[in-house]
Amino acid sequence: MANPIFDWATGAVLTEADLQQTFNKIPTYCEVCFWKCAGWAHLNEKGDIWKLTGHDNDPHCNGRLCPRGTGGVGMYYDDDRLKTPLIRTGKRGSQTFREATWDEAFDYIAEKMQKISEKYGPECIALFSHGSGGKHFGRMLKAFGSPNITAPSYAQCRGPREVAFFATYGEGIGSPERVDIRDTDCLVLIGSHIGENMHNGQVQEMSDAIDKDATIITVDPRFSTAASKSDYWLPIKPATDMALLLAWIHVIIKEEWYDKKYVEKYTFGFEELKSHVKDFTPEWAYGITTIKPNVIRKTAKEMANASPSVIVHPGRHVTWYGDDTQRLRAVSILNALLGSWGRRGGFYNPEKYKVAKLKLPKYPKPTKTWRDAFPGQYKLAGLALASGICDATIPTVERDCSFKGWFVNGTNLISTLPDQKNTLKAIQNLDLMVAIDTMPMEITGWADVVLPECTYLERYDNLRVSSHREPTVALRAPAAEPKYNSKPAWWMAKELAGRLGLDEYFPFETIEEELDWQLKQIGSSLKEMKKIGLKKYAREFDDLYPLENLEEYEFNTNTGKIELYSTSMEDEGYDPLPKYTAHEEPPDGFYRLIYGRAPMHTFSRTANNPNLTNLMDENSVWINPKVAKEWGLKNDQKIWLENQDGVISSFPIKVRVTERIRWDSIYMVHGFGHTNKNLSRAHGKGASDAELITKVHIDPEMGGTGMRGNFVTFHTEMPVQGGV
Amino acid sequence: MRYAMAIDTKKCVGCSDCVVACQIENNVPDGFCRDWVVEATSGTYPDLSMEMRSERCNHCTNAPCVRCCPTEASHIVEGGIVLVDPDQCIGCKACIASCPYDARYIHPEGHVDKCTFCIHKVEKGEDPACVEVCPTKCMYFGDTDDPNSDISKLLKKRKWKTLIPEAGTEPNIYYLI
């Protein structure tokens, strides 16, 4: 080679082969959802991003991306992307901005941050994030003095299951879920619609389970894709899952189908549980759930037959009715009776590779946190509550300090948090609101400053250090220069930190240097990782199934046992054993609003992606034929939805008359009905379930926002907002 | 040699990854697709069954599109793959009318377009893009003339059907049921 080419990150001389590798196929991990599959961005002859494929060695995807991952290129090519920093010129929410330089934007933000800090303390600034950028802004904010960093993936999604499993086993579930679906003999899904919820590795493993003839039991008021693959579909009356779970526990104990040795060796509180469930017979549950007693017994027997190779799946989005921690406690108890925790085909023990952390100066000690806004409440919340911080932004007489500044990165809070009016009220009380996103979203319209983030295909990010059967480390490297005037989050965070006098928390000039340093600590380098993308390591401990042969084991609970009877919940004044609570039912002429996922979209963030809108560009409202007949509704007819509080959908939605939904409920896919006109493909397409979720049932244990207690009725003509 | 595809309806979740992977791989123009997903539900609540299947050109052995093509643009190559030569196609749409599977469309450039079984990949020994990407691994591609191929073994072991067999086109897409 006449003129040697140097790797711009490491300074090493690249060979011809290196160049081929480096410039035709660039490693990344996906950011379209938060399963984070490792893969490759392939370039075409012109050097432009062409297609994305999965990394063969990645246990998250096994070489196959899901439709969203495959269509991730659309995030990069979307013409509607945020292109340059914006500073608000009109009233907040009026969507009037002027274009600004990065310097102007940073100076504006830094000045406001300093003012808030001086007047109220740095803790009054919070970060909401969903995605990789959160790590960078989080470091900046912690250095500034605020611990209030939150993601809606906790209180609006999987929080209750983490709290419940922690109470029972002293460990949570995590992501990817530690469920051994690949090797299971019986998979029980309760409202968990794997296949429509396209978390890749899990969908792949369900397919493997089908291949191996595993028994699948699905509990859902909707004939979901998973239900259609199941041996047993239990079309449960919505909001009654707890009764079914208690009846299953009752049967398994009464018939002595539980794993006796396992229960005896590992669990605490069996006798209390036994007496607690003695009246929860299948006949009792039948009256509540509409599931026939013999079906309850038969499915319990199926689980017992498969035990311990059985998974009663903890689900992922579980914030439904406000007693969700308790419902997930029942799920965890059922698994314990079946002996599935720590066993092959049940719940495996994941391992994470230990990657050296940067030695940074100590973060300043905060004097207050979000918890101070909720004295005596949500005591089991393990992470900050997005909804809690939102609520604590609205000033009250009792509270001496409210949040004054928000950073919102990669999460469209208007669609994510329930009760939009409340969210908007909170925003109106802010002194500073910064939105960082790749796309204009409803939330960016409410910001004072909008910072355009480049997509994951145009940036480095922190390493993906994931917890799985085998530990892996994966690299995300840019496959293209950032388009327009967009920038990566790490750069924004470092620039802001610089203006706030916090340079010492970002000791490296570039993220490449930081990654290279970190990778060298674990015997690799940025150069190597750019070639291979992902490294898989052998497990340090041979304990994938630590309880397989009844090994000695001490659980991280008060008693050192699996707590069927939870002492930690009792200590905090919560029910130590799960109880059935009847939930409100839809009034006459109203139907329970059930929402969920489509395999080709992630929340509201993909609704404008050109590749994915090709697959699905609007949602529809699923209505049972009996109900449709009663209302005279036809397929594809456009109707407006109104909820129990008189909130009417901003846009009409197409009717889908289908037997796949119960007569007391309607179903719609979450993430549509965008009101931001800058989304040329998504604006006004379909309706938003989120805007119809105004009634929230808060989980007393951990503050999760139960969102399935909302009911809607139909309008065939456009109604007048505020009146029926 | 006879290339064919077997698609396991028991595993397909209808995610449409096959559709988007094909569109990107083959630069399919916006708004069109060479493969698509069908969801067929039968019964009444709660006695329901549902089949999901990924559909495309059946690369028929007795292909009506090839027979009716006035310019021989539609033709069959080695392995039985039905192709359209865009330079020879005059866009008369006779093939579109003759196809019982509705597998063809008029490309904005004026010629007919459809699934090629990703022949450019198959020639390199790779699977078609849809098969390669499928997260449920429900799609199998191979040579049904070879009794030892995975697809031949699968078709021997499993129950299967083809779509609209009564049209007599001898389709080469098999659905495992």
Quick: pLDDT tens for A251-269: 999 999 999 999 999 999 9
Residue A668 is which amino acid?
M
pLDDT at A695 over 90: yes
Compare CB distances from A70 to B24, B43, B44 and report the shortest one's residue: B24
Which of chain B's residues have a Cβ under 8 Å away from the Cβ of A615? Answer: 16, 19-20
Residue A566 forms part of a structural domain: no
Dump pLDDT digits (tens) for A136-193: 999 999 999 999 999 999 999 999 999 999 999 999 999 999 999 999 999 999 999 9
Long-range contacts of A282-288 (CB under 8 A, 24+ apart): A282/A247, A282/A250, A282/A251, A284/A243, A284/A247, A285/A243, A285/A244, A285/A246, A285/A247, A288/A237, A288/A240, A288/A243, A288/A580, A288/A582
Which of A452, A455, A473, A454 minimizes the C-alpha distance to A464?
A473
Last residue of a domain, one of A350, A368, A383: A350
Per-residue model confidence (pLDDT) at position A720 = 79
Last residue of a domain, one of A335, A350, A365: A350
Beta strands in A62-167 (DSSP E): 86-88, 97-99, 125-129, 149-150
Mean pLDDT of A542-556: 97
Compare CB distances from A207 to B20, B23, B136 and report the shortest one's residue: B136
Mean pLDDT of A489-501: 98
pLDDT at A27 over 90: yes
Q: Specify the residue for token string 């046992």.
A: A561
**Same-domain pairing of A345 and A380:** no
Mean pLDDT, rounded, of chain A: 95
**Same-domain pairing of A21 and A71:** yes
Among chain B residues, CA nearest to A617: B31
pLDDT at A278 over 50: yes
CA atoms within 13 A on the CB side of A621: 34
Q: Per the structure block, which two tokens stand in for A201?
A: 């590795």
Q: Per the structure block, which two tokens stand in for A226?
A: 């998973």
Confidence bin at A40 (pLDDT 50/70/90) = very high
Which of chain A's residues have a Cβ under 8 Å away from the Cβ of B17? Answer: 64-67, 70, 599
Q: Specify the residue for token string 């992902």.
A: A534
**Same-domain pairing of A213 and A234:** yes
Confidence bin at A400 (pLDDT 50/70/90) = confident
pLDDT at A23 over 80: no
- d(Cα A642, Cα A723) in Å, to the nearest integer? 10
Mean pLDDT of A20-35: 85
Residue A553 forms part of a structural domain: no
Contacts of A613 (CB under 8 A, 6+ apart): A607, A681, A682
Mean pLDDT of A304-315: 98
pLDDT at A18 over 60: no
Q: What is the span of the domain harbouring residue B90?
A: 3-176
Into how many domains does chain A fold? 4
Q: Is A64 on the interface with B (CB under 8 A)?
A: yes
* Mutation target vs A (from B45, B47, B131, B134; most A CBs, 10 A cutoff): B45
Residue A389 forms part of a structural domain: yes
Q: Is A196 on the interface with B (CB under 8 A)?
A: yes
- d(Cα B103, Cα B90) in Å, to the nearest integer? 18
Compare CB distances from B135 to A203, A614, A659 and report the shortest one's residue: A203
**Are A228 and B135 an interchain contact pair (Cβ–Cβ within 8 Å)?**
no
The CATH number of residue A120's host domain is 3.40.50.740
**Same-domain pairing of A224 and A370:** no
* Segment among A64-73, A535-544, A713-722 with least mean pLDDT: A713-722
Among chain B residues, CA nearest to A200: B135
Q: For chains A and B, what is the number of CB pairs under 8 angstroms?
A: 115
The CATH number of residue A338's host domain is 3.40.228.10
**Are A204 and B136 an interchain contact pair (Cβ–Cβ within 8 Å)?**
yes
Among chain B residues, CA nearest to A72: B20
- d(Cα A535, Cα A540) in Å, to the nearest integer? 15
Into how many domains does chain B fold? 1
- d(Cα A283, Cα A294) in Å, to the nearest integer? 9
pLDDT at A398 over 60: yes
Residue A636: other Cβ atoms inside 10 A = 9
Q: Is A223 on the interface with B (CB under 8 A)?
A: yes
Q: What is the ipTM of this complex?
A: 0.96
**Are B23 and A611 an interchain contact pair (Cβ–Cβ within 8 Å)?**
yes
- d(Cα B59, Cα B45) in Å, to the nearest integer? 37
Q: What is the span of the domain harbouring residue A32?
A: 15-77
Compare CB distances from B46 to A54, A204, A235 and report the shortest one's residue: A235
Q: Specify the residue for token string 């897409």.
A: B173
- d(Cα A299, Cα B107) in Å, to the nearest integer? 52
**Same-domain pairing of A135 and A64:** no
Q: Per the structure block, which two tokens stand in for A570?
A: 């009792």
Residue A477 forms part of a structural domain: no
Per-residue model confidence (pLDDT) at position A3 = 47
Q: Is A292 on the interface with B (CB under 8 A)?
A: no
**Same-domain pairing of A384 and A502:** yes
Mean pLDDT, rounded, of chain B: 97
pLDDT at A58 over 70: yes
Among chain B residues, CA nearest to A599: B15
Classify residue B166 by its DSSP letter: G
pLDDT at A209 over 60: yes
**Same-domain pairing of A186 and A321:** yes
Per-residue model confidence (pLDDT) at position A721 = 64
Mean pLDDT of A531-555: 97
Mean pLDDT of A78-98: 95
Mean pLDDT of A456-461: 98
**Same-domain pairing of A383 and A238:** no
Distance from CA of B55 to the nearest CA of A (A): 14
Compare CB distances from B45 to A198, A210, A662 and report the shortest one's residue: A662
**Same-domain pairing of A412 and A502:** yes
pLDDT at A401 over 90: no
**Same-domain pairing of A54 and A93:** no
**Same-domain pairing of A410 and A502:** yes
**Are A229 and B17 an interchain contact pair (Cβ–Cβ within 8 Å)?**
no
- d(Cα A534, Cα A32) in Å, to the nearest integer? 19
Distance from CA of B46 to the nearest CA of A (A): 7
Which of A419, A426, A434, A433 minimizes the C-alpha distance to A393?
A426
Residue A469 forms part of a structural domain: no
**Same-domain pairing of A617 and A649:** yes
The CATH number of residue B80's host domain is 3.30.70.20
**Are A66 and B24 an interchain contact pair (Cβ–Cβ within 8 Å)?**
no
Q: Per the structure block, which two tokens stand in for A697?
A: 């049932």
pLDDT at A7 over 50: no
Q: In DSSP terms, which residues pair with B114 in a beta bridge?
A: none
SS3 of A481, please? coil
Q: In DSSP terms, which residues pair with A405 in a beta bridge?
A: A125, A432
The CATH number of residue A48's host domain is 2.20.25.90
Dump pLDDT digits (tens) for A628-672: 999 999 999 999 999 999 999 999 999 999 999 999 999 999 999
pLDDT at A389 over 70: yes
